[in-house]
Amino acid sequence: MTATPCDPSLSGVGFAPDALSLNDFLGGRVRLWQPLQGYRAGVDPVLLAAAVPARAGERVLELGCGGGQALLCLGARVPGLMLCGVELQAEYADLARRNGAQNNQPLEVFEADLSVLPMALRQRQFDHVLANPPYYRAGAHSPAEDAGRQIALGGATPLAIWITTAAKRLAPKGYLHMIQRADRLPEMLVACSGCLGSVEILPLAARQGRAAELVLLRARKGGRADFRLHGPLILHQGDRHLADAESYRDEVGAILRQGAALVWPTLK
């Protein structure tokens, strides 16, 4: 990922003119303004976007969209989507709108708490909802100096609210995709019970023989298929880090650098 200093005319609300950098994603197919200090996206939203089997013309909502990283990576892979995001923090909501313009992708962003969505959004349904909620419960991680990063790391909204909100916004047979820490999987499964079905879990492990630290969850509104726990997607080659260079496996590198889809085992 490369970075370019910020053009002051593109600085978001709440960010100083020199507080942003322009970063390349998907091998430069997507270019995103991000704060130099604060929440900066890594590979997680890219993997989340790659996991969504969206088709042109479908409606997509992201809960907690930040600067729009996942939505815009998905839109670059699947042109013709109707993209919408909800973001609590005003400066990041503004940044998401600017990133949509930067990438010539129409992106509608609501500044709102996902647990109290505006009426205009509550009257709509979506074919896909995606979410990358904070990985830690509020207060369960070391404090961050930056307020935006603090919220991104540890949110006060329970995972159950994220999932039930997603279920309400999904159209019948619509899909939720979520990336989260593996140790919070029990919370996710309990929250899906009664509102989403056909649950699948794809663990993400850094290397062969390592425990998965993250999981991707897929669930369907009205789904009736049995629960499925897939074998892990291994991100890196080899069993240990050998050099200061990228070591992604070929299929993962294609996702991160070429915008390829993440093919779930059930879709092969």
Contact 136, 128 (CB under 8 A): no
Helices 159-169 and 185-192, interaxial angle, to 10°?
Answer: 40
Q: What are phi and psi of 95, to 5 degrees?
A: -65, -40
Residue 118 lies in a domain: yes
Instruction: Collapse the DSSP code of 200 into the 3-class scheme (helix H, G, I; strand E, B; otherwise coil) and give the result.
Output: strand
In this structure, what token pair is assigned to residue 241?
């880090």
Q: In what order do the strands lie in the sheet with 30-35?
A: 3-5, 20-25, 30-35
CATH of the domain at 114: 3.40.50.150
Q: For residue 152, what pLDDT is reported?
A: 43
pLDDT of amino acid 18: 87
Does residue 209 fall inside a structural domain?
Answer: yes
Q: What is the pLDDT of residue 136?
A: 87
pLDDT tens-digit series, residues 153-177:
446 899 999 999 999 999 999 999 9
Domain count, the chain: 1
Any idea which residue has 């994603």 for tokens? Answer: 25
The helix or strand, by DSSP H or E, that contains position 85, with its residue range, turns out to be: strand 82-87
- Note the pLDDT of residue 238: 76
* Domain-embedded: residue 1: no
Residue 104, in any domain of the structure: yes
Could you tell me if residue 90 is inside a domain?
A: yes
pTM score, whole prediction: 0.88
Domain that residue 147 falls in: 40-267
Answer whether residue 7 is part of any domain: no
In a domain, 53, yes or no: yes
Ranges of the chain with pLDDT below 70: 1-14, 17, 138-155, 240-245, 266-268
The predicted structure's pLDDT at residue 159: 97
- Classify residue 86: in a domain, yes or no: yes
Confidence at residue 145, expressed as pLDDT on a 0 to 100 scale: 58
- Look at residue 261 and give its three-state secondary structure: coil
